[in-house]
Amino acid sequence: MKVPINSLADKVVQGQGNIVSDMGAEKVMLSIQKGKYYNLGETGGRIWELMKEPISVQQLVSSLLEDFQVDKATCEDQVLSFLSQLIMEDLIEVAHDQPTG
Side-chain half-sphere of 3: how many Cα atoms within 13 Å? 13
Q: How many domains does the chain have?
A: 1
Burial of 80 (0-12, 13-18, 19+ CB in 10 A): middle
Mark out the alpha helices in the chain (DSSP H runs): 41-50, 57-67, 72-88
Judge whether 34 lies within some domain.
yes
Domain annotation covers residue 2: no
* CATH code at position 27: 3.90.930.60
- Does residue 3 lie in a domain region? no
pLDDT for 96: 77
Domain of residue 49, residue span: 11-95
Whether 100 is covered by a domain: the verdict is: no
The pLDDT tens digits for 42-100 are: 999 999 999 999 999 999 999 999 999 999 999 999 999 999 999 999 999 998 766 55
